[in-house]
Amino acid sequence: MPNPSPIAVIVLAAGKGTRMRSDFAKVLHRAAGRSLLGHVLHATKAAGPERTVVISGPDMQEVGTEAKRVVPEAVIAIQEKRQGTGHAVSIAKDGLEGFEGTVLVLYGDVPLIRSETIRALADAVSEESPLAVLGFRAVNPTGYGRLIQDRQGKLIAIREELDTTVDERRIDLCNSGFIAVRAKLLWELLPKIRNDNAKGEYYLTDLVGLTVAAGLKVALAECPEAEVHGVNTRAQLAQIESLLQIRYRHNAMNNGATLIDPSSVFLSADTEIGKDVTIEPHVVIGPDVVIGDNVDILAFSHIEGAKIADGVRIGPFARLRPGAEIGRNVHIGNFVEVKKAKIGEGAKANHLTYIGDASVGPRSNIGAGTITCNYDGYEKHFTEIGADVFVGSNTALVAPVKVGDAANIAAGSVITKDVPKDALAIARGQQAVKDGWARKYRELKAAKKRKDKGA
Ligand code: UD1
Ligand code: CA
């Protein structure tokens, strides 16, 4: 039975993350192009929270900014002094004023958590069991809080590692730290948590014992250990990255993309890939990329912030930067860079080209070595190329400049003035031809050489 109770989310993210050795808060570090906090907040979206409160630390302004980027209505509460997970949750109380449903407490540095698991945890809460804990079986339980069950298997307490007995330390059922709890019970029990433990902290985990003492049940939801891996070090961040990549590559393949060598293709959390897409080895796809159907992305291409329509061919060795909008059936070839530019249906830029701050009309052909000179050292300027235009090789288009439909630009031109529709523009030095010049020059040089030797 799905839980009809409305959901609120509290994300604990006040940890500095000293072991990251970074000037940035831990939860702002990225995996698969998304902040750790972003991963957690995205996973909560499926539960449709009515409210979200993020607990941040002092001097961690960017944590709030990032939270609001993902969940604009999120409330940011600052925990001035770190006094434990129970204390951190109490900081969220004002932000949840008047909320009467189920509160989910999550950590901001656990990015692999899946929305299905969050949903299942929320659904485990009922009238009978107003508190549910997310547990997992640990290969090596050292360091985790242990879930203590009675003989009937009912959850009766969570014991932190430092407070466990030798017997309890053998338990491999561990606490992920994520809980779901009815708001009423949470605010009732939270003030009862004391800090008389090995660390002198207010442990959120004490809620379990307090709930049982109040004569109520605690439900247990379980998830695979892999989903609750936290990030404390850069090495763990790299592990998270590779686990996320495996997940996203599988999703892409399940949705109908061919990855010839999945292990060398890097995707982002928000990458959208259509079907019958082929991605060759050594391709990096950064954030904010949408790829249509029947697209081929050839080896060694780097793509970020780009929209790629159906039937497009990219690469090998192509670079698409933010604002690249590649129309249907376009070909972008080797050593071509496109930034903030719209490329019309069927247009081609096959070799060695930079197209930035520009639009290219349908079916136009951009010759090898064409450059839009968009920057004058101070400002960016726009180049507008119409439909069916032929741009000869090694053309420099000095922006701002417009090229009309079906115009033709001679190779090697430096275009500084607008080119009208159907016109030919040639802007290069006139060719002079001097008959016999090369032969005479050769003979002159040969004579000099003979003279020098003889001397
Ligand atoms: C916590 C759990 C433990 C569980 C483990 C799983 C408690 C008492 N213990 O232990 O049972 O097995 O997580 O990883 O809850 N935080 C704050 N403010 C604080 C303290 C913590 O925001 O005052 C945040 C941290 O930034 C972190 C999370 O809460 O994201 C967990 O805190 P941490 O100190 O890592 O808890 P553990 O000792 O690992
Ligand atoms: Ca921890």
Task: Round to whole Å and give the CA distance between 247 and 111.
Answer: 12
The amino acid at residue 80 is E
Q: Report which secondary-structure segment, H or E, holds 371.
A: strand 371-373
Structure-token match 């109520």, residue found: 216
Kindly list the domain boundaries of the chain, sorted by start residue: 7-228, 234-425
Compute, in angstroms, the gap from residue 6 CA to the centroid of ligand 1. 25
Compute, in angstroms, the gap from residue 69 CA to the centroid of ligand 1. 24
Q: Which backbone phi and psi does 262 adopt, to 5 degrees?
A: -50, -35
The CB of 108 under 6 Å from ligand 1? The reply is yes
Taking alpha carbons only, the member of 175, 34, 208, 185 closest to residue 107 is 175
Pick from 107, 161, 178, 196 the residue to mutate for probing ligand 1's pocket: most ligand atoms within 8 Å of its CB: 107
| Ligand (nearest to CA of 77) | 1
3-state per-residue secondary structure call for 35-76:
EHHHHHHHHHHCCCCCEEEEEECCCCHHHHHHHHHHCCCCEE
Task: Round to whole Å and give the CA distance between 262 and 30.
Answer: 21
Compute, in angstroms, the gap from residue 331 CA to the centroid of ligand 1. 51
pLDDT in tens, the chain (455 residues): 454 799 999 999 998 889 999 999 999 999 999 999 999 999 999 889 999 999 999 999 999 999 999 999 999 999 999 999 999 999 999 999 999 999 999 999 999 999 999 999 999 999 999 999 999 999 999 999 999 999 999 999 999 999 999 999 999 999 999 999 999 999 999 999 999 998 999 999 999 999 999 999 999 999 999 999 999 999 999 999 999 999 999 999 999 999 999 999 999 999 999 999 999 999 999 999 999 999 999 999 999 999 999 999 999 999 999 999 999 999 999 999 999 999 999 999 999 999 999 999 999 999 999 999 999 999 999 999 999 999 999 999 999 999 999 999 999 999 999 999 999 999 999 999 999 999 999 999 999 999 999 86
With contact defined as beta carbons under 8 Å apart, do 440 and 422 qualify?
Answer: no
Both tokens of residue 52? 């979200």
Q: 5: which DSSP letter?
A: S
| Ligand (nearest to CA of 227) | 1
The amino acid at residue 134 is L
The CB of 204 under 6 Å from ligand 1? The reply is yes
Annotation marks residue 351 as catalytic = yes
Give 358's strand partners. 341, 383
Strand, coil or helix: 360:
strand
Q: Which atom of ligand 1 has the smallest separation from the CA of 55?
A: 22
Taking alpha carbons only, the member of 55, 50, 58, 62 closest to residue 24 is 62
| Residue 18: count of CB within 10 angstroms of its CB | 9
| Residue 305: count of CB within 10 angstroms of its CB | 16
Q: Which atom of ligand 1 has the smallest separation from the CA of 204?
A: 15
Q: What is the pLDDT of residue 16?
A: 84
Q: 405: which DSSP letter?
A: T
CATH class of the 234-425 domain in this structure: mainly beta
| Ligand (nearest to CA of 85) | 1
The CB of 37 under 6 Å from ligand 1? The reply is no
Compute, in angstroms, the gap from residue 143 CA to the centroid of ligand 2. 8
Both tokens of residue 88? 């951190």
Task: Round to whole Å and give the CA distance between 227 and 77.
Answer: 26
**Ligand 1 atom 25 nearest Cα:** 15
Q: What is the pLDDT of residue 18?
A: 92
Compute, in angstroms, the gap from residue 354 CA to the centroid of ligand 1. 49
For domain 7-228, the question of CATH label 3.90.550.10 is answered with yes
Q: How many residues does the chain have?
A: 455
For residue 278, what are the contacts with CB-CB under 8 A and spacing of at least 6? 257, 258, 260, 295, 296, 297
The CB of 36 under 6 Å from ligand 1? The reply is no
The CB of 87 under 6 Å from ligand 1? The reply is yes
Q: Which backbone phi and psi does 300 adopt, to 5 degrees?
A: 60, 35
The CB of 384 under 6 Å from ligand 1? The reply is no
Strand, coil or helix: 328:
coil
The CB of 84 under 6 Å from ligand 1? The reply is yes
Residue 212, CB-side half-sphere exposure with 13 Å CA sphere: 15
What beta strand segments (E) does 183-298 contain? 218-222, 257-259, 265-266, 272-273, 277-279, 283-285, 290-291, 296-297
Give 419's strand partners. 403
Q: What is the pLDDT of residue 454?
A: 85
The CB of 102 under 6 Å from ligand 1? The reply is no
| Ligand (nearest to CA of 233) | 2
* Pairing outcome for strands 306-308 and 290-291: parallel
CA distances from 423 to 19, 42, 419, 420, 427 (A): 64, 53, 7, 6, 13
Compute, in angstroms, the gap from residue 153 CA to the centroid of ligand 2. 26
Task: Round to whole Å and give the CA distance between 254 and 249.
Answer: 9
Task: Round to whole Å and give the CA distance between 56 and 37.
Answer: 11
With contact defined as beta carbons under 8 Å apart, do 2 and 125 qualify?
Answer: no
| Ligand (nearest to CA of 108) | 1
Pick from 16, 83, 85, 176 the residue to mutate for probing ligand 1's pocket: most ligand atoms within 8 Å of its CB: 85
The CB of 419 under 6 Å from ligand 1? The reply is no
Give 372's strand partners. 397
Q: What is the pLDDT of residue 3?
A: 47
Among candidate residues 42, 302, 351, 381, the one labeled active-site is 351
Q: What is the pLDDT of residue 2?
A: 54
**Ligand 1 atom 30 nearest Cα:** 107
Give 441's strand partners. none
The CB of 281 under 6 Å from ligand 1? The reply is no
The CB of 175 under 6 Å from ligand 1? The reply is yes
Q: How far apart are the first and last CA of the chain?
A: 107
Task: Round to whole Å and give the CA distance between 160 and 175.
Answer: 9
Both tokens of residue 8? 């609120």
